[in-house]
Amino acid sequence: MRSIRRQLLFWLLAIVLLGVGLAGWLIYRQALAEANELFDYQLQEIAAALPAQPFSQVLGSRDTGDEGIVLQIWNRNGVLMYYSHPRAPLAPRAEIGFSTEHTERGDWRVYGAIVGDNVVQLAQPVSLRNRLAANVAWRTIWPLLVLLPLLGIAVWVVVGRGLAPLRRVTRALEARHPEALDPLPVTGLPLEVQPLVQALNGLLERLASVLETQKAFVADAAHELRTPLAAVQIQAQLVARAHDDVTRSEALTDLQAGVARATRLVGQLLALARSEPDQHGVPQRVELQPLLGECVAACASLAEARGVDLGIEASEAASVTGDAEALRVMFNNLLDNATKYTPAGGRVDVSLQVEAGHPVVRIDDSGPGIAPAERGRVFDRFYRVGAGANRERTDIAGSGLGLAIVRRIAGQQGAQVTLDDAPAGGLRVTVRF
């Protein structure tokens, strides 16, 4: 698992280490340049301080083995008069000025000069200068290297403290009751963590509203199912108590109607639950003309039985992107309402037109219509016109869910549903995509 703390520690230490290494190398270069300057000067000074008069005889060496500076002196005739370290791997030649000699024991810095009657040559191993520069660099950087573990501990602790608010938020979330959806406190949180907690709070808010809707829906559904089921129970009792065939048959008809109402209510409840925001299918291209034709055909026999003339008046080719099944449920509910609430002898006209590039479906009927004051409320769940206190007297069966389903689906499919007066006097429902 990737840990911010570990990554920060790793990269910080790696960068510091790289920086120390670079600093060490720069210091080494600088110290080497200075050592070269100083030692060259020293070689020159030593050469200048040597005796200028001719040597009377070849001198023996005092070879100490320590080859800090090797000295060779020749006389005018090229005879080597003095050699401080005869075992030094230097060529027996004299070159005036500074030069670097490559030997089997490394490089040597050599300085040759004419001092009076003699030619002198001073030589020094280059490794001596390198070692000196390396020592200088090392003395500068080792305290930094010693501090590195301390820096690591400090980074570990500081980052840990910086991440503490995240752990606090996690603990607060873990300790929560599943239904506690109130927002988490944002105050006191670092700037970087705030957006995360704010996003979480947004999600909690949406969850709370969905949960609220669901609870209300379940409560309403349970309440609404009680009425038709109670009716079914009474009707069943009446069937059981019937003494003659005529009363029994009448009671049975009532019972069947009651069961049909309860079935319709369950069906509508299911349709509403299916039209929940997270339930819609993959959007696809839907041709409205054939879809509407199918819905009207499906409703035709029912309309005929109710004595209502149902037909498509005008129809243009139009398509939308959406869920065909959801659209079918929406149109079926609107057609069901129009044919159900229009008295026998009336008519229902369906039209599909394209207006300003947008498909518009109109369903007009010649029924009683809905009073303007009621038009806002009929979309509410379980709301029925003329219901309320005298609900039992609502003569046409219905659960009051149809238009709620219509509005929900329209919202999801990018359509707008409006209610108006139809030219024939009834209700005009307009679905504008």
Ligand X SMILES: Nc1ncnc2c1ncn2[C@@H]1O[C@H](COP(=O)(O)OP(=O)(O)OP(=O)(O)O)[C@@H](O)[C@H]1O
Residues in contact with ligand X by the rule CB under 6 A: 264, 268, 333, 337-338, 341, 365, 367-370, 378, 384-385, 398-404, 427
Q: Is 221 exposed, middle or buried (0-12, 13-18, 19+ CB in 10 A)?
A: buried
Residue from 24, 367, 369, 402 binding Mg ion (CB under 5 A): 402
Contact region with Mg ion (CB under 5 A), list: 52-60, 67-75, 197-205, 394-402: 394-402
Partner whose binding site includes residue 401, from ligand X, Mg ion, none (CB under 5 to 8 Å by kind) = ligand X
Listed ranges 32-40, 301-309, 337-345, 348-356: which one lies at the site for Mg ion (CB under 5 A): 337-345
The DSSP-derived string for 146-175 is: HHHHHHHHHHHHHHHHHHHHHHHHHHHHHT
For ligand X, give the closer residue by CB, 384 or 408.
384
Residue closer to Mg ion by CB (options 125, 346) is: 346
Tokens 């049975």 label which residue? 252
Say if residues 288 and 314 touch (Cβ distance below 8 Å): no
CB-nearer residue toward ligand X: 68 or 386: 386
Q: How far is the CB of 286 from ligand X (least distance, A)?
A: 22
Distance (Å, whole) CA 162 – CA 147: 22
Nearer to ligand X, 67 or 336 (CB): 336
**H/E run at residue 28:** helix 4-49
Q: What are phi and psi of 70, to 5 degrees?
A: -105, 130
The residue number whose beta carbon is nearest to Mg ion equals: 402
Binding partner selected for residue 359 from Mg ion, ligand X, none, CB under the kind-specific 5 to 8 Å limit: none
367 binds Mg ion (CB under 5 A): no
- Using CB atoms within 10 A of its CB, is residue 204 exposed (0-12), middle (13-18) or buried (19+)? middle
Cβ 314 to ligand X, closest distance in Å? 19
Within 175-204, the residues that bind Mg ion by CB under 5 A are: none
Contact flag: residue 337 with Mg ion (CB under 5 A): yes
User: What residues line the site for Mg ion (CB under 5 A)?
Assistant: 337, 402
